[in-house]
Amino acid sequence: MQNVLAYLGENEPRFVRELCDYLRFPSVSAQSHHRSEVEAAARWLVDHCQSIGLDAQLRPTDGNPVVVAQTPRPASASSHRRRHFLLYGHYDVQPAEPLDLWKSPPFEPRIEGRSLFARGACDNKGQHFAHLKAVEAYLKTNTELPCDLTFVVEGEEEVGSKSLAPFLRKNRNELRCDATVISDTGIPDLKHPALTYALRGICAMEVKVHGPSRDLHSGICGGSVDNPALALCQLLARLRDKNGRITIPGFYDDVIPLSAYERKQLARIPFNEAAYRKFLGVPKLFGERGYTPQEQRTARPTIEINGLTSGYQGEGSKTIIPAWASAKLTFRLVPNQKPQRIHKVVAKHLKRLCPPTVRITIEGGHGGEPYLVPPTGPLAQAALRSLKSAFGCEPVLLREGGSIPIISDFKKILGVDALMLGLALPDDNPHSPNEKFSLDAFAKGMRMSALLWQELAST
Amino acid sequence: MQNVLAYLGENEPRFVRELCDYLRFPSVSAQSHHRSEVEAAARWLVDHCQSIGLDAQLRPTDGNPVVVAQTPRPASASSHRRRHFLLYGHYDVQPAEPLDLWKSPPFEPRIEGRSLFARGACDNKGQHFAHLKAVEAYLKTNTELPCDLTFVVEGEEEVGSKSLAPFLRKNRNELRCDATVISDTGIPDLKHPALTYALRGICAMEVKVHGPSRDLHSGICGGSVDNPALALCQLLARLRDKNGRITIPGFYDDVIPLSAYERKQLARIPFNEAAYRKFLGVPKLFGERGYTPQEQRTARPTIEINGLTSGYQGEGSKTIIPAWASAKLTFRLVPNQKPQRIHKVVAKHLKRLCPPTVRITIEGGHGGEPYLVPPTGPLAQAALRSLKSAFGCEPVLLREGGSIPIISDFKKILGVDALMLGLALPDDNPHSPNEKFSLDAFAKGMRMSALLWQELAST
């Protein structure tokens, strides 16, 4: 094991260079003009896995391909069943816009101190790459891996992972395993490594309000016809009250209330409200009354407007009544809210509120179920030991506010729980301009991964 | 006089070809990348005026130049004071976006039946061109013009006419006149030519709500920080109630109520509510309770959202809390509302409503005062006679919902009233895709202009 850890330390500069190569692909799955670069990133990853000794393949799906890479299976292992763990990651990234807010181009990785800046650096290329390098260390030092590992790295996580569930169903036998390991969550800081035991789900939709059949002159017609942008604002305004409570009938029906134990655990996580407010750059925090900010952002459901579009947005002014107005909405969900049901209650409510002077259409986007797993089982305990050893401090238990919609697919299709061992720091700016990944988190993550297989194999 | 009218009839096909040449310039004043084409349109107009015998010049301003063109002043006129009228128009046009809704390119004029389609066809190139051709008919047939005329055609009407007032002040002596004549308003149909006696004013502003210092991951932070797009919606939603009444304190303070006489005159104008609704393409009309649609769109003040911008607007979804959200707003004003005061009461109200969790900034755009002139004076009566004679039917008295902010500048600086003798039909789509101008309105407008100088000279 010393050889493995020494190899990781000695080769870190090369690993960072390789990660930079990976980050240069603008593998933005949401934007169809990046399609060829999405595939190029996947091909690069297959080649890289092969170069370190994995049996790697690009597997086609109805959408972007999945990279599957297996550690060599020892021939002698046929007599007793070795443990098998599945490592999940995604090679696709969020759109980089707005580009003018990046200090350096999003797909030209830049290192400043111990931070590596690039779109996808922490979400998620850097994180699954740490696991890959831990495996490389075993293989290149001829150290026996105590369990079998299979990497499953998909290319549609940022657009709803539509092809992954069919892929898992189709390859259920090959992918049968004891648990999945996923590093796509965050840690409070490098002194508080974390096991994440719950995730929020998501329900996305686009709401469009249609007014006149074309943009109208606001002088000639204004006053005698409704303005779809104002109608949209009036609809959306009514979805959340001033206490931060969502006003849609039935929205909270399936929410499991936070237990006293959970609220106590969540309160252990270091949190400085003033620093958090300053980090966000807002004059004052805002959230659902009766909950701490930590609870609000991880254990309570939300409504967000992700984008608004209507009328003229260019230079100067244009005196029109716009023909339509639209909003991209996402709701973050907590156990046991179901995306389909939330979509239904939201759509029903909006249609009921919509005045007769405009028309409303609602299109469903991607959805993902929330997830909750008790953190007291042997696998979770093994993970906590590897965290403690790699980081040199006591890990915390976390709920994560973000979504990894495929976690519940793994549970449903493969029947196993997920160990969520994320490496992203709170200021890593995933989905934002100037996304980064901590090279310290990368180094500790590689050690954690190397130790994890030992701990997991002995459970 | 018969020669003049005959010349107009005989040369109409050529006039239409010349107007098409004029319409080919994309003289969009709001968009700085069109700057050179704005100036090219002005130069073309100067050349054209010179070619028909006017003394025409391009006069520089701090913004786009003004075209000034005078009819030849007869030498014998020194003994008695001839009447002098000023003809106003604008050679700049609205932005053509959204381009994909045009049936043919906006700057490639297309004739279908008796309609000429192009951006600027009716607003305003076609309308002032009709007056120019009437003057050409006098000059080319050697018919004595009974009064002196000066064309003043500016290039900033669609962006607030900022340079025109300074220009009028600077050239006050040269431009001293008995009245201005402006064709930039509408008529109900070709059987109802109209003199417009009142205009709405305008007050434009851009409201921006600032949240976090950058777009945030809606999973990681969502729930603990306000969403500026939702905050903007909640602010704007409160500006108009469900009866179509604007809720801003002080907004209606200076509104002169409609008199019973005015309401009776306005009711004379042909109006079919079902046809109007169908023409707009809306499921139901909407306006301030207690007023007819005609009154709502011409004689009552309004609020409009002209555009909304926030967050991600591209393909697919992006799960962010946007850093900011903005709205372009215009208020249409009626006598005696003042744009400066409206800007003040709106900004004050919005700032008072803005929650402490976001910041608000409000930028003022252009403003224009509303206008009202009693239609019973000798000049107006002369105009009504020329309308009746050119169109062959009884003209109506109109209020116009649109703004011609410079009308009050003419009144203030030159001390004269304006005769608003517009030629735009209700379906001409000014400011919208597929703007057009009726060639019948063009032909009748030229006759009206030719007759108008005779009527005006004898007042």
For residues B368 and B70, the model is more confident at: B70
Q: Evaluate if residue B53 carries a pLDDT over 80.
A: yes
B458 C-beta neighbours (distance < 10 Å), count: 12
Q: Evaluate if residue B148 carries a pLDDT over 60.
A: yes
A224 and B293 in contact by Cβ < 8 A? yes
Say if B343 is an interface residue toward chain A (CB within 8 Å). no
CB A87 within 8 A of CB A184: no
Q: How far apart are the C-alpha atoms of B3 and B10, rounded to whole Å?
A: 10
| Residue of A304, A333, A334, A398 to mutate, testing the B interface (most B Cβ within 10 Å of its Cβ) | A304
Handedness of CA A293, A298, A299, A303 (dihedral sign): positive
Q: How far apart are the C-alpha atoms of B61 and B38, rounded to whole Å?
A: 14
Say if B274 is an interface residue toward chain A (CB within 8 Å). no
Listed residue (A243, A101, A246) closest to B323, CA to CA: A101
Structural element, H or E, at residue B426? none
Query: What is the model's pLDDT at position A402?
Result: 84
Q: How far apart are the C-alpha atoms of B321 and A93, rounded to whole Å?
A: 17
Q: Tens-of-pLDDT digits for all 459 residues of chain A?
A: 899 999 999 999 999 999 999 999 999 999 999 999 999 999 999 999 999 999 999 999 999 999 999 999 987 655 467 999 999 999 999 999 999 999 999 999 999 999 999 999 999 999 999 999 999 999 999 999 999 999 999 999 999 899 999 999 999 999 999 999 999 988 989 999 999 988 999 999 999 999 999 999 999 899 999 999 999 999 999 999 999 999 999 999 999 999 888 888 788 888 999 999 999 999 999 999 999 999 999 999 999 999 999 999 988 888 999 999 999 999 999 999 999 999 999 999 999 999 999 999 999 867 888 988 777 778 888 999 999 999 999 898 899 898 777 888 899 899 998 999 999 998 999 999 999 999 999 999 999 999 999 999 988
Average pLDDT over residues B260-282: 90
Closest residue on chain A to B185 (Cα): A220
CB B324 within 8 A of CB B211: yes
Helix ranges (H only) for B191-337 are 228-237, 260-267, 273-280, 293-298
Q: How far apart are the C-alpha atoms of A178 and B107, rounded to whole Å?
A: 67
B353 C-beta neighbours (distance < 10 Å), count: 15
CB B390 within 8 A of CB B353: no
Query: What is the model's pLDDT at position A4?
Result: 97
Q: How far apart are the C-alpha atoms of B258 and B250, rounded to whole Å?
A: 18
DSSP conformational letter for B71: P
CB A327 within 8 A of CB A308: yes
- Three-state DSSP class for residue B330: strand
CB B418 within 8 A of CB B104: no
- Strand pairing of B396-400 and B194-199? parallel
Say if B297 is an interface residue toward chain A (CB within 8 Å). yes
Minimum distance, in Å, between the CA of residue B393 and any CA atom of chain A: 24
Q: How far apart are the C-alpha atoms of B85 and B456, rounded to whole Å?
A: 9
Tokens representing residue A356 in the block? 């007769």
Minimum distance, in Å, between the CA of residue A393 and any CA atom of chain B: 24
Of B225, B319, B322, the CB nearest to A282: B225
Q: What is the pLDDT of residues B24-44, one digit of tens each?
A: 999 999 999 999 999 999 999
Q: Which of residues 205-224 of B touch A (CB under 8 A)?
A: 206, 211-224
B229 and A308 in contact by Cβ < 8 A? yes
B312 and A306 in contact by Cβ < 8 A? yes
Query: What is the model's pLDDT at position B74?
Result: 85
How many percent of chain B have pLDDT more than 70? 98
Query: What is the model's pLDDT at position A79?
Result: 44
Q: Dmax over Cα atoms in chain A, in whole Å?
A: 85
Tokens representing residue B426 in the block? 């209700």
Contacting residues of A for B427, CB less than 8 Å apart = none
Query: Which residue in this structure is represented by tokens 């007032």?
Result: B165
Query: What is the model's pLDDT at position A403?
Result: 75
Whether residue B173 is preceded by a cis peptide bond, meaning omega within 30 degrees of 0, is no
Say if A202 is an interface residue toward chain B (CB within 8 Å). yes
Query: What is the model's pLDDT at position B85?
Result: 96
Of B94, B224, B330, the CB nearest to A293: B224
Query: What is the model's pLDDT at position A212?
Result: 98
Query: What is the model's pLDDT at position B77?
Result: 55
Contacting residues of B for A307, CB less than 8 Å apart = 229, 310-313, 318, 322
Handedness of CA A207, A211, A217, A219 (dihedral sign): negative
Of B30, B220, B426, the CB nearest to A297: B220
For A343, list phi and psi in degrees, rounded to 5. Answer: -55, -40
Tokens representing residue B436 in the block? 């057009």
Contacting residues of B for A328, CB less than 8 Å apart = 311-313, 317-318
For A406, list phi and psi in degrees, rounded to 5. Answer: -75, -15
Closest residue on chain A to B297 (Cα): A223
Q: Which of residues 29-88 of B touch A (CB under 8 A)?
A: 30-32
Distance set, CA A157 to CA A73, A391, B38 (Å): 28, 28, 48
Query: What is the model's pLDDT at position B194?
Result: 93
Minimum distance, in Å, between the CA of residue A409 and any CA atom of chain B: 19
Q: Which of residues 394-413 of A touch B (CB under 8 A)?
A: 400-403
Distance set, CA A337 to CA A22, A46, A367, B165 (Å): 36, 37, 11, 62
Minimum distance, in Å, between the CA of residue A73 and any CA atom of chain B: 38
Listed residue (B91, B99, B98, B146) closest to B121, CA to CA: B91
DSSP conformational letter for B78: G
DSSP β-bridge partners for residue A69? A56, A151
SS (H, E, C) chain A: CHHHHHHHHHCHHHHHHHHHHHHCCCCECCCHHHHHHHHHHHHHHHHHHHHCCCEEEEECCCCCCEEEEECCCCHHHHCCCCCEEEEEEECCECCCCCHHHCCCCCCCCEEECCEEECCCHHHHHHHHHHHHHHHHHHHHCCCCCCCEEEEEEECCHHHCCCCHHHHHHHCCCCCCCCEEEECCCECCECCECEEEEEECEEEEEEEEEECCCCCEECCCCCCCCCCHHHHHHHHHHCCECCCCCECCCCCCCCCCCCCHHHHHHHHHCCCCHHHHHHHHCCCCCCCCCCCCHHHHHHCCCEEEEEEEEEECCCCCCCCEECCEEEEEEEEEECCCCCHHHHHHHHHHHHHHHCCCCCEEEEEEEEEECCEECCCCCHHHHHHHHHHHHHHCCCCEEEEECCCCCHHHHHHHHHCCCEEECCCECCCCCCCCCCCEEEHHHHHHHHHHHHHHHHHHHCC
Minimum distance, in Å, between the CA of residue B315 and any CA atom of chain A: 6
CB B424 within 8 A of CB B187: yes
Query: What is the model's pLDDT at position A141?
Result: 97
Closest residue on chain B to A300 (Cα): B223
Minimum distance, in Å, between the CA of residue B335 and any CA atom of chain A: 15
Distance set, CA A325 to CA A117, A259, A314, B306 (Å): 35, 41, 16, 10
CA of residue A115 relative to chain centroid, distance: 20
Closest residue on chain B to A236 (Cα): B233
**Residues near A10 by beta carbon (within 8 Å), at least 6 away in sequence:** none
Say if B196 is an interface residue toward chain A (CB within 8 Å). no
**Residues near A51 by beta carbon (within 8 Å), at least 6 away in sequence:** none
User: Domains of chain A by range and CATH?
Assistant: 2-199+371-457 (3.40.630.10), 201-255+301-368 (3.30.70.360)
Closest residue on chain B to A160 (Cα): B317
Query: What is the model's pLDDT at position B26?
Result: 98
Count Cβ atoms within 10 A of the Cβ of residue B105 and give its class: 0-12 exposed, 13-18 middle, 19 or more buried: middle
B402 and A306 in contact by Cβ < 8 A? no
CB pairs under 8 A between A and B: 371
- Three-state DSSP class for residue B13: helix
The C-alpha angle with vertex A14 and arms to A13 and A20, in degrees rounded to 5, equals 95
The C-alpha angle with vertex B339 and arms to B333 and B343, in degrees rounded to 5, equals 110
B314 and A95 in contact by Cβ < 8 A? yes
pTM value is: 0.75
Closest residue on chain B to A184 (Cα): B220
Say if B194 is an interface residue toward chain A (CB within 8 Å). no
Contacting residues of B for A213, CB less than 8 Å apart = 280-282
A311 and B308 in contact by Cβ < 8 A? yes
B328 and A318 in contact by Cβ < 8 A? yes
A304 and B280 in contact by Cβ < 8 A? no
